[in-house]
Structure 1
Amino acid sequence: MSEKLISQKPEAWENGFNLIYKPDTAGGSGTSEFLSNFLGLEGIENAGSPGGFIPIARLRTLAEAETLQTRLRKSGVEATIAADEIFNERNPPIRLRAIEFGGGAAKFRSFNGDRIFDISGADVATVIIGSIYQITVESTVNLRRRSGQKTNETESFADEIIMDVYLRGDHTGFRIMMHGFDFSCLGDKKMRIAAANIVLLAGRLSEFAPNAAHVEDYDRCRKLLDEVWGLEETRDSQGLRRTGLGRVEISAASKRSNLVQFTKYSRLQAIFG
């Protein structure tokens, strides 16, 4: 058994280098077991589908990435190096508010402004669908108490299905979200539940662009992606508040979301597909 890799992961804000693996390049449960043991990854045996791409490591420097790439190759595993910057995840795909199908073509209407993109089925290269979520924890601390004890903490969870569409030769892409999108293009198949409509729209796009790659395994990959790319975490202090009887409280909210992670995964499929 190969010695387990020990490497310090770069911070989320640092420009790192990723090892990208295509599950069907080596194949077999033996490869998954090797990667799980060597890289310390959980859930890799369920991640990705033949023909898709997944990140299996993120390192601080190109030299570290090249060293790992060589070690993997000696074990029969081929991986490609990709710098963080190619994903450009801070500039998400163009959000759409409507799609109009007709005459073998489609019009993509932007959510902000009145931009219209005329698209043919042959233009569409990749369609990715998955679930995004946000966990929000709001806490209040009584500053008058010696221990700074939390007086209240609430947690909320929100999720929705999201779909990205990429054209050939363009890695910017278009984004469709459940809320704020007009599903009238589904005609009499349109349902009252937005989650059902976005799945139906994915099927409609499959008919419109039969030669495009349709990637639907993001949700299955999330455990692995959480280990390699992690979630985006933010914290917002809401300041001091006096509540009477000399009590002073400070409130804060922390949020964890996989939206940026989904964008990176989405762009990965578009760039490498």
Structure 2
Amino acid sequence: MTPRTPAPEAGEVAEAGEAADVRREPHGPPGRRVPVRRLVVVPAVSAVLLAATYLWISQVPLDAIARNALAGGNAWLRLWQHVRLTAVSTFWVLLIAVPLGIALTRRGLRRAAPVATAVANVGQATPAIGLLALLVIWLGIGPSTAITGMVVYAVLPVLSNTMAGLRGIDPQMVEAARGIGMSAAGRLLRVELPLAVPLILAGVRTALVLNVGTATLATFVGGGGLGDLITTGIQTQRMAVLVLGSVLTVALALLVDWLASLAELALTPRGLEAG
């Protein structure tokens, strides 16, 4: 007869199950899962849009005026100018709006918050082309005028979101940080700002997209950018030049918003992600 193997005791079964669970669990903190749709859709749409535009322009007969507008890497130059205008203006928006938003939520400057918000609202409520025209009187023609107008136009989303993010923090968390001996700077850097990051990043994302659109108006103040292609296409009635400038602007706005959404996801502290 074959000897019977004794059945394992309940304690041994539990220990074996726990050991198997330990082996199956990954070590370290769980990574963030980015939906494939979020990674693929916008770049794919932009690529299809650009490819279709390229194929269409390559099939359209171009006269000397259209060829001159698109020759010599002119489209790439205008695209680079557009990206530079957007990046520089957004940098100045961050440099102004985030510290100002922090300052206006501190006890000594809270009374000035409505005034600052009203001024920022006026800047965004003013039509962008009218604002640029007024700045030309003061600053003259050039990229600096365009950048100044873009900063004034885009400062409101970052300023208001910074203030809203800091004001929305649970006061008990700030009091708890104060209770364990944190300084005011420590509470701001280690408690308040990390909790306000999602709203601040949402404001930065909005400002970026606003600046991509507003940069097309830089052509009217000598700032360059893709607006040069659009206005050239309109003035000379060359559809290929107009379509190329418009499509590049749309594709750039889509890609900038996509990159900003990924940065927003990556920079948001763990546990604060939406959804």
Provide TM-score, normalisation by structure 1. 0.22
Select the structure with the greater relative contact order (CA < 8 A; seq sep ≥ 6): 2
Question: If you compute each CA radius of gyration, which structure gives the higher value, 1 or 2?
Answer: 2
